[in-house]
Each structure stands twice: as structure tokens, then as C-alpha cells.
Amino acid sequence: METRNIKAEIESKIHDPILRSNLENFSQQYPAARAKAYANVADIDELRDDLRDMKQYSVAHVEELADEFQTSLEQRGGKVFRAKDGDELKKILLKICQENDVHNIVKSKSMATEEIRLNDYLEEQGLRVKETDLGEWMLSVAGQHPSHMVMPAIHLNRNQCAKFFSDELKEDIPSDIPFMVQTARRVLRKEFLNADMGISGANFGIAENGAIGLVTNEGNGRIVTTIPPIHVIIMGYEKLIPKTSDASKIMRLLPRNGTGQRMVSYLTLVDGPTPIIHEKNGEMVEENKKVYAILLDNGRLKAAHDPVMKEVYQCVRCASCLNVCPIWSTVGGNVYGHIYSGGIGAILTGLLNGLDEFSQFSDLCIGCRRCTTVCPGKINIPDLIQELRNRQVAKKGLSFPEKMIFQKIMTNRKVFHSLLRAASLGQKPVKSGKFIRNLPLFFAKMTEGRSLPAIADKPFRDRAEKLLQNNPANPKMRIAFFSGCNLDFVFPETGESVVKVLQDIGAEVIYPQEQNCCGKPIIGAGDLDTARRLAKQNIAALEATNADYVIAACPTCAETLEQTYKELFKDDKVWLERAEKLSKKLKEFSSFVEQIYADNGRLKNTAGKEKITYHDSCHMRRSLGIYKEPRELLKSAPGYEFVEMTGADQCCGMAGSFGMKYADLSIQLLNRKLKNIKESGATTVAVACPACMMQIGGGIDKMAPNIKIKHIADILAENLGDN
């Protein structure tokens, strides 16, 4: 395994103006194109469910489908081989070439052949290989690899393409796209006619009749599979589907998701050898062409039998997860692993190339979950990435600093909180008001483009006793407040606002001092044993309050307590039962308050002078499914006029430790968010997540000091006297 400097690669991509322009334009255009393609579809989720169910059946019967596919194709005159890995496939293919006196090969786009570096091998054996997909052809000339599964050369502009054309053809090719396309046709036509063999991949392989389907927008795929006298199909086991009718389930989604089209230009079905006329020994003869199919394992069958990772078989390689990924749309695909990019690429790299290679870039997934909203196969990509992280930690262990912080400090509440208090004192030389605007030496990058929030002089837990003296005499409910680390030690004033609002709606609020960090950073790092220790502390602390509800004003904490704790204890009956009881009591602050406000008539549209907009936390919007309630609260807040910003649900770039580890990349996402906030015309941006408040607030402090940022609890608390 080659060790890479991922941070250096990211920095070079961030400062590549061509790459950034191409990706930015595409990421802005894609959502509208996809929406237009689905405009007349009554129920997209129904289509996604059909595809997911079909693919789940396929993976459960993958060996049976492989046998049926082989029998069907061989009955039609083809020949099927099975390769356990790339090396075995190369040997099989070389033997086919030698037996058939093959010298010239044309290829259509195939990620499976990229995966095993097939072209390099064939050329080393003295064979001439020509890519015929326009993007793949240019990349082969440039000595590059695809940055996208559908649009491999999306990172190049037309001037770069023209240079590659000119270098390859030894003639001056202008950067005129129609001219370059015509030039490619002229040059490749000769390659097609002189080819002894055509190699293609497959978008699907149908078991009942041995047919394969190719989905393309260029005619090269159809020509590669028809003109040469030999056609070799190379595909992974995940492409197998039971019946021809199942192909429609793929075709209703793949074009719409992949390129924003209702249908691609070419859908080619190849179902075995067909008669062709070609030159042989100086004469034109008619004979059946030869068709070979090689099924590639390379870790796929092991994944098929993995109770968790088999979900990856639901992928149809549309790359829509890349198209909406904030990381891919900022730095492109080449910073990822072996061949496959984006979140799904991280998973495939882990399964096909091993966890060591996966671990080099696995934390580029920030868990924003935008991919889950578009994936046609409904793959839970962030959870599969997390599962691979867990396995890597179980196999290799944590680094020494992580082990010390997670296992020795964070699980010991008194030590953890004592260190935070000490940090509050230690930060004074670099603190300015409530922010740290500049850090020295190698920490400097963390404060380029944003300020960092300072740790509060007095945490919320030291303010709670006095605040709780204002509980109502005749409470309507009893609420335990889970503050989380940020509202306790960074934004204690917001913690106070939460309590005041809860008291205002008639709640007796309890603050259990024994509560600790929810454990999300530890869970994200893959240390589940330590996470369970923390979870037990918090469950016990909250149980002791005997509260009717547990309120969290941090969506990350809410998700962790409500959902993740149950997953942590799925194999522990006693603690699972306790986690489930906690889950039923857990409520996210804004959605809980909005329901009560709606019931008592407080939600009224108000006219205000100050424009306010709202940023959706990723955990809030896509994990908890909460997005309407905060907007209703803001629309009813006296003195404000609510305006929606563009990209309200796009990640702000904080994403826990990611915001510190990949500071440059985090700032790029932040700048995108700040641009949208400014363009909304709002002078206040509201959030419901303290981590987002840290990131966006730090950016505003540096880049837009005329704009204020407030937690929804603060906005509600400042208007309590008006209700």
C-alpha cells in the first residue's frame, strides 16, 4: 500500500481554479437537472424501494444468479469464466487473446477494468489497447484516472482537453468542443475497424437469458460490442439481476440520477454471439462472433455474505452520491482511494483493497447524509463507512493520543471537565472577547478564514443551580436537560436560554450534573467500547432524574441519545432496554417547543424589520428529519422577517473533528455557506446546532461582522416577555 499525503493533495485541488470552476458549476446545475428528470414521477421513493428490494434479492442469491447467467449465456454460444481477483482475470483474458491471435483491442468505459489496472497489464504483454469513451480516452492520453464514475474527465476543461488531443495526434487541435468530438470520431473509427477484440463492462447482467445491458451517451459502447469479431464482457458479481423486467427498475432511476436525463442516448442489450461479416485471410467471411464474459470477484462475494456490508450491492454506479457530496464537489474524486471516489468509493476501496487503504481517507466523509437522500438503491453510505471505521479500530486499535483522550479523559467526567476549565484559563493570551481570532505557529491554519469560539469562563453546569430556582411552582411536566459539551462549556448563555424557554412553557427543569459528553466523537472514531462506557454514564444520570422528557438542544446529541445508543447496545439486552426507554423520552428542543407553541396558539405570523434566515444542521435535517418546526418558530418570532437562503441544508463544514483536521477544506465549505447567507439579505442567521454556531459564527466574526448568529433558543428567550 502506497502511503499518501492526503492533506497535500487536497490543498493542491483547492488551489486548482479549473477543477474548482468545473465542480462548482456542475454541483449547482445537477440538483435542478435531476429534479426536472423526475418532474412527472409520482412517487420517487416507490421506484427506489423497488430497486432496493430487487438488489437485496440479488445479493441474497448471488451465486445462484451467477450459475443461471453462465448457463444462459453458454446456451446461446458464449463462454463464461469466473475470476477470484484481478490477477486471475488478467490470466484468463491473456489466454483468450493468445488463442484468438488478438493484437488490437478497443474498450468502452469499465470501472471494473480500472479497478484492476487492466490496460497497463495488457500493454505490458505487447497488446495495443485503446479507450474509446471520449473522457476515458483523454485520461489515458493524460496518464490520469477517472475522478467520477459516470463523467470520468469532469475535472478537465476544454482547453486542457484540446492540449491532450494535440499531444496525442501530433496536430494542432482547437478548443472547440464539436470539432474535438468530430476529431475523436475520425480517429477512433479506424481503431474500431482494425480491432481484433472489444472489451466492455456492463451496467447489469440478466441471469434468465445471459444478456448484458450497457447504458451510454456515446455510441462507442455499441460499436465496441458489435464490430470486433470478439467481445469480452468484464463485470462484477454485483451487476447480476434476475430477470429482464428487473432492468427497467434500474433504467427508471440510473439515467435520472446519473446525468439528469429521463433516458440515455444508447441502451444496448447484448445477449450472445451474433453473425458478423469480417475480413479473414484476405477474404470477407460471415461467422458468429465470439462472446466471453468474465465475472470478477475481487472481494465482492465476501461482501455479499457480510450481514452489514452486503448493502453495497444496491449500488448501480450512478454516482449521484458524488454529485451532492460537499467534499467531492470541492476537491473532486482523485483525492480518494484506488479508483472509486466519494463515499461509495471509500466503501468499495475498503472492501476491494483493504481497510488500510480505506483508512487513509475514510474521514473525508463528514456524515452530512446528503447522499442518502438521492441514492436510488437507498444505501446508507455514512453508516457503512462508520462500520468500516469500527472494524479498522477493532483490528488496529486507536492512535496513542486518541486512546488517551477517549479512554482516560473523556470517560472520566471530573478529569475531562477539569481540563476544559483549565483550557478556559490557558486561552486568555489568544482570546478576544468570545473568540480566538488568531493562533500561533502550526495552529495558524485553524483560524484562517474563521475565528474559533472561546471556552466560557463559567460553564453552564456552574450556572444551573441558580437558574433552576426559577422553575414554576406548579409544573406541567418534568424535563431533564442534556446540554452536551458545547452548550455546557462554549455557549452556556444558550443553555440558559433553553432552560428559560422550557420554564416558560411550564416545565420543571432538572440538570443532572453527572451527565458527560454524548460520545459522538468517540463513536465517529470507531471506539465503540469506550462509547458504551460513556453511554452507560449518561443513561444512568438521566434515569435518575425520573423526568417525563429529556431535552437536547444539540441535534448531534439528540441523534446519539435517541438512535445511536440503541445500536451500541443491540447485543446487550439489559442496556438495550434502558436505551430504548431513554429514546422514547428524548426530544429535540425546537421541535418539542414548536409543538407546544402550536397547541397553545403562540405560532402567529409577525411583521418584522430585521431579516432572519435559517441554516439546517445536517444531523437535524437528515438524521432527525426536523426542518419545518424551526422555520415555524422563526416565522412567529416578533421583530423578524423570515427569508429562506439558498442551500440552507448544505453542510457548513464543521463536522466535528473534520473542521480541525482538514481546516482548509472546512473553510471552503464555510465560505460557500457565508456566501448564501449574505445573498439572502438577512442580518441574523439562526441555527439549532451549537457546532454549526461555532463554525458559522467563527466565519461571520472574520468575514461578515455585520451579521449576527443566534441559536433558536436565544431568539425565543429574548421574546419571552412578548408572549
**What is the distance between the alpha carbons of residues 654 and 505, in angstroms, rounded to a whole number?**
32
284-320: burial string, b at 16+ Cβ within 10 Å, e else: eeeeebbbbbbbbbbbbbebbeeeebbbbbbbbbbbb
Q: For residue 475, give the amino acid letter.
A: P
145 φ/ψ sector (left φ>0, alpha ψ -120 to 50, else beta):
beta
On the question of pLDDT at 673 being above 70, the answer is yes
Q: How confident is the model over 145-154, as a mean pLDDT?
A: 88
- 551 forms beta bridges with 481, 587
What's the average model confidence in pLDDT over 443-455?
75
Angle among Cα 408, 413, 415 to the nearest 5 degrees reads 60
Give me the residue label for grid cell 473532486: 332
User: Could you tell me the domains of the chain?
Assistant: 60-296 (3.40.50.10420), 595-722 (3.40.50)
**CA dihedral sign of residues 47, 48, 49, 52:** positive
Q: Is residue 441 pLDDT above 70, yes or no?
A: no
Contact 624, 555 (CB under 8 A): yes
Asked if 294 and 93 count as a contact pair (C-beta separation under 8 A), the reply is yes
- Stretch 202-214: mean pLDDT, rounded? 97
Residue 48 has pLDDT above 60, yes or no: yes
Strand order in the sheet with 435-436: 431-432, 435-436, 452-453
Contacts with 119 (C-beta within 8 Å, 6 or more apart), sequence order: 107, 113, 129, 131, 140
Q: Model pTM greater than 0.75?
A: yes
Q: Which of 24-38, 395-409, 515-529 shows the lowest per-residue confidence on average (mean pLDDT)?
A: 395-409
Q: What is the pLDDT of residues 597-640, one digit of tens each?
A: 999 988 887 777 899 999 999 999 999 999 999 999 999 999 89
pLDDT by residue (tens digit) across 475-528? 999 999 999 999 999 999 999 999 999 999 999 999 999 999 999 999 999 999
Closest CA to 501 of 585, 596, 587: 596
- Long-range CB pairs of 415-420 (<8 Å, 24+ gap) are 416/516, 416/517, 417/459, 417/461, 417/489, 420/455, 420/459, 420/485, 420/489
Pairing state between β 452-453 and 435-436: antiparallel
466 grid coordinates: 441558580
Sheet holding 197-200, edge to edge: 79-83, 290-296, 230-236, 197-200, 104-107, 128-131
Grouping H, G, I as helix, E, B as strand and the rest as coil, residue 383 is helix
Q: Cα separation of 23 and 148, whole Å?
A: 11
The pLDDT of residue 440 is 59
Judging by beta carbons within 10 Å of its beta carbon (0-12, 13-18, 19+), is residue 159 exposed, middle or buried?
A: exposed
Say if residues 309 and 196 touch (Cβ distance below 8 Å): no
- What average pLDDT does the chain have? 92
Q: How many other β-carbons are positioned within 10 Å of the β-carbon of residue 404? A: 12
